[in-house]
């Protein structure tokens, strides 16, 4: 598994481990994050979508899907600014902000991995890796 694939794989594991408590114990998860206690299904649904995204990340890692890995960078980079905005507005918490910091470091790991791979693999091979189909 290449370095970019490894980084998105572990990001998927991280997402999945966060999704499970949202699905199975949403009140506990929200209390831990110091956010409002949920009413309704929205937290469990969010956990389900988060688990689906985790699956996509793990699959992308196993398939060496460099396009997907690259596409994931912008939304992942926007997590920290979004959580800072929530904190500033009074809707967030410092514990929640910690996840944004973790996401920023995970995104930087993926950016570095992709850059290092581009520097070490000839461009013809990168094109072949991108067009690789199972």
Q: What is the model's pTM?
A: 0.77
Angle subtended by helix axes 3-24 and 94-120, to nearest 10: 160
Give the mean pLDDT of the chain.
86
pLDDT band at 129 (very low <50, low <70, confident <90, very high): low
Q: Taking 90 as the threshold, does the pLDDT of residue 74 lie above it?
A: yes
Span 35-41, mean pLDDT? 78
| 36 DSSP assignment | P
Quickly state the pLDDT bin for 124 (edges 50, 70, 90). Answer: very low
Q: Count the alpha carbons within 13 Å of 110 in the hemisphere toward its beta carbon.
A: 30
Residue 4 has pLDDT above 80, yes or no: yes
């Amino acid at each position: 598994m290449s370095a970019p694939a490894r980084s998105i794989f572990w990001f998927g594991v991280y997402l999945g481990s966060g999704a499970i408590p949202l699905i199975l114990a949403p009140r506990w998860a929200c209390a831990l994050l110091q956010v409002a206690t949920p009413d309704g299904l929205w937290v469990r649904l969010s956990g389900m979508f988060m688990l689906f995204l985790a699956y996509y990340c793990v699959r992308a890692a196993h398939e060496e899907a460099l396009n997907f890995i690259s596409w994931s960078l912008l939304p992942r980079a926007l997590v920290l600014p979004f959580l800072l905005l929530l904190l500033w507005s009074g809707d967030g918490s410092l514990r929640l902000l910690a996840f944004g910091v973790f996401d920023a470091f995970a995104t930087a790991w993926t950016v570095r991995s992709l850059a290092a791979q581009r520097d070490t693999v000839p461009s013809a091979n990168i094109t072949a890796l991108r067009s690789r189909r199972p």
